[in-house]
Structure 1
C-alpha cells in the first residue's frame, strides 16, 4: 500500500525525533537502526526508505536539535531585563543537566563529533557557530564586535562544558554535579556584569 506524502513526512520526522533523543541519551555508536526504528514505530525497512545510512540520520538529527536549541534561545530574548543572564539561567541549570534527551546536543555530542564523518562535523560546527552568533548579538550591545565574539565563545564553551561535566559526574557524586552548575552560573553572571567584559 502506498504511503501518503503526509504520512511519509510524519514517519521521517518520527525517525529524526527518536534518533535525536536516543543519540543524546546513549551516543551515536550505542544507538542502532533497529532501536531507532522501533522507537519511531517503524520497521528497519521503513528506516531505509527515508535514510540510506545511519550517518545521514545522525546529520539530520544533529541539524534539527541544534536548530531547535537556537530557536529556543531566540524565543527567550527580550523576555526579561537581562538577556545574557536569562540564557545562562536556562542553560546552566540542574533541569538542563537532567534533560539529556531534550537538552542541548552540544553538551551531549561534543566528545563524539570528532569521530564522525565530515558532513556531521560540518553540521555540528555550523550549529555551534549559530549559537555563538546569537550570544554575540546579545553581547554586542555592551561591547565592541571583537570583544563580543571573544566573550561569546567563552560563555558558550563554559556553558557547554559545565553541563557536560555535571552530567558526567551526577551518577557518582550528585553534590559535585550541583556544585559545578552553581559555580559556573555564578561566575558567568559575575563576568557578564563586569564593566570590563
Structure 2
C-alpha cells in the first residue's frame, strides 16, 4: 500500500516532535533511534526514509523546540507589568524543572552538543533571541544590558541544570528559589 505525500510529511513531523521531546528529556545520546521509532509505531529502517542521519534529526528537533517555545516566550514578554519577572518565574519554576520535554532545550541539549563538538546555529539563534528578550525587559537605566542579559541567561540555564541534577528536593528547590529571587532583583535595576 502506497501512502500519500501528505502522510509522509505528517510522519516526518511526528518523528521530529517526538525526538524533540525525548532529546530535551533524556538527552541526545540516550535517545536511541530504534526506541524512538518504535514509540511512534514505525520501523527503525523507516527512519532513513525521512532523515540522512541522527545529526539531521537533532538539528530539526532543536528547531522544533525553538518553534514550540517561541510563542510562549513571546507571550511572557508581552506582559505589560514586569515581563522579565514573569519570564524568570516561569523559567525557574517547578513545572519547568519537572517537564524538560516541554521546556527550554538549552539545559539538556546545549552541554551535550558542546561536548560532542556539534555546536548548532539554531542554538545561537535561540540564545540571541532570549538575550534580546531579556535586554528588552531590563530597566532603561541599566548600565550594561548586554552583559547583564548574558549573565542572567547563563544563570537561568545553569540553575535549571543544577536543580534537575540535585537529588535532595530541598536543595533543588533552593537553587531555583534563590536564583529566581536574585535575578528578579537584578531585573528591577
Q: Which residue of 2 aligns with 1:112?
A: 112
Task: Assess if the C-alpha contact under 8 Å between 1:67 and 1:127 holds in 2.
Answer: no
Q: 2-side partners of 1:44 and 1:7: how far apart?
A: 18
Q: State yes or no: 1:153 paired with 2:188.
A: no
Q: Which residue of 2 aligns with 1:8?
A: 8
Q: Which residue of 2 aligns with 1:142?
A: 140
Q: Secondary structure at the match of 2:79?
A: coil
Which is worse superposed, 47-56 or 72-81?
72-81
Q: Which residue of 1 aligns with 2:163?
A: 166
- TM-score using structure 2 length: 0.91
Q: Which runs of 5+ in 1 are unaligned?
A: none
Q: Secondary structure at the match of 1:97?
A: helix
Task: Assess if the C-alpha contact under 8 Å between 1:90 and 1:96 holds in 2.
Answer: yes
Task: Assess if the C-alpha contact under 8 Å between 1:70 and 1:130 holds in 2.
Answer: no
Moved over 3 A (4+): 115-118
Task: Assess if the C-alpha contact under 8 Å between 2:163 and 2:173 holds in 1.
Answer: yes
Task: Assess if the C-alpha contact under 8 Å between 1:84 and 1:135 holds in 2.
Answer: yes
Note the C-alpha offset of 1:178. 0.3
Q: Which residue of 2 aligns with 1:44?
A: 44
Task: Assess if the C-alpha contact under 8 Å between 2:137 and 2:187 holds in 1.
Answer: no
Q: 2-side partners of 1:16 and 1:67: how far apart?
A: 12
What is the number of residues matched between the two proteins?
189
Q: 2-side partners of 1:44 and 1:117: how far apart?
A: 26
Over aligned residues, Cα RMSD in angstroms? 1.8
Note the C-alpha offset of 1:71. 2.5
Task: Assess if the C-alpha contact under 8 Å between 1:136 and 1:152 holds in 2.
Answer: yes
